[in-house]
Structure 1
Amino acid sequence: MEYNQKQVSILEAAEKLFASQGFHGTSVRDIAHEADVNIAMISYYFGSKEKLIEAIFLKRIYTWRQTLEGILSDSSKSFIERFDALVETYVVRVMSNPCFNLILMRAQIQSDMTVNELIHQNKKEVYELISGFIGEGQVHGIFNKDIDVIMMINTLIGTTNHVMSTRHHFQRLTNLEHLSDEQLQEYLVTHTSNHLKKLLKAILIHEA
């Protein structure tokens, strides 16, 4: 759905606070203060804190699914080009939205989070899209047979999220303290993307 500027401000404020303070540690009052709106406006637009985090997930999930479908269905590009685009786009998406991805990581290990079923359904849809794409590549003789698609996706997600969430440790370990935040971001996107493309294509197109 389309959101007006006030709703976007509320969603952005909530996302920032949920990432830094946790869902349970953030009150509607905190969100109202951060978004510079009154509590009644949050209630009017979203109803509750639970509905608010659900709106955040729906917005992010819908955008990602559309993007993913567009990449994988682009028959003007080769299977390898589409796979590279998938990796690059995912890495950029995670690195550019650290607050949402921290919320996502946290929500998946908290069984009482109301968005857990939404997360599971999204994971299932993404798996089916990527699995279908790889299956098509196998039919055309591009990709190897017997690929564990779930573990490949876990490798992509796990590596990217780890680098994103521990970026300052990575910066120190690799002696990149001289880089600005913007330069570090550019380096992490490029370095992580290239590493994952090489790693995953070793499974996809090279004999074990």
Structure 2
Amino acid sequence: MTTTHFNTKDRILGAAEELFAQHGFSGTSLRQVTSRADVNIAAVNYHFGSKENLVNEVFRRRMDEMSERRLSSLREAQEEHPGELEPILAAFIRPALALTLDRHGSAFVRVLARAYAEKNDRLRKFLSDNYGQVLREFAKAISPCLPDLGKEDLYWRMDFVAGALTYAMADFGLIKRPAGVSDKAHSDKAAQALIRFAAAGLRAD
């Protein structure tokens, strides 16, 4: 892949990510993307073929890496802390919150929030088909830690954990980073609080 090829594709993805974060998927046109990326419409068609594929690739660019980090952390948690719930939750939560510390990842966090807020059946199917397995792997790992919890209840609670995580990533809540506290320290504190909250919710009668 040539540098020009990579830069053009990457510029389009970066522009699309920023615009989707600001205006949503239906509110962003390909013309806006090409203008922001300083490319012509032929470049978008060449690299992605359609707006739907462009949306999918914006997610793939971030979600593939995050999924790999989650699964790698999950394997470590199972090896180093067998049968313990909190390390498994940390493997799920910390890689996602780490996105908020990345200068480019912060825009994607808002895009992810849009995916939850907007009704887009094709996007939801894409995310389910490509990343649903990650959630199922975590549910499989958590199940032995909670032997009395049925599969349906486990899946409900994992969905609630994922929703709370997305909310925390988007920084919608009451807790804001205090002055003098670094983004990293604030993210670590959020992770610790969410892990405790998720563990309590999963263990609830």
1:1-208 superposed matches below 5 A? 4-74=6-76, 75-79=78-82, 80=84, 81-93=87-99, 96=102, 97-112=105-120, 114-122=122-130, 124-135=132-143, 138=144, 142-143=145-146, 145-146=148-149, 148-167=153-172, 170-171=175-176, 176=178, 178-179=179-180, 183=181, 185-202=183-200
Gaps of 5+ in 2: none
- Give how far 1:168 is off: 8.3
**CA–CA separation in structure 2 for the residues paired with 1:17 and 1:207:** 41
- TM superposition score normalised by structure 1: 0.76
Given that 2:88 and 2:142 are in contact with CA atoms closer than 8 Å, whether structure 1 keeps it comes out as no
Change beyond 3 A, Cα 1:58–1:27:
same
2:34/2:44 contact within 8 Å kept = yes
CA RMSD in angstroms, aligned pairs only: 3.1
Q: Please state how far the C-alpha of 1:82 moved relative to its aligned partner.
A: 4.3
How many residues are aligned here?
195
- Measured after TM superposition, the shift of residue 186 of structure 1 is 2.5
In structure 1, the gaps of 5 or more residues are: none
Query: Which region of structure 1 is more displaced relative to structure 2, 113-122 or 186-195?
Result: 113-122
In structure 2, what residue type is equivalent to 1:191?
A: K
Q: Percent identity?
A: 23
Q: 1:70 to 1:14 in 2, by over 3 A?
A: same
**TM-score, normalised by the number of residues in structure 2:** 0.77
Q: What is the rounded CA distance, in whole Å, between the counterparts of 2:23 and 2:112 in structure 1? A: 13
Distance 1:22 1:196, change over 3 A: same
One-letter identity of the residue aligned with 2:92:
L
1:100-151 deviation digits (Å, cap 9, x = unpaired): 232233234433453121122245312211011113xx2xxx5553164334
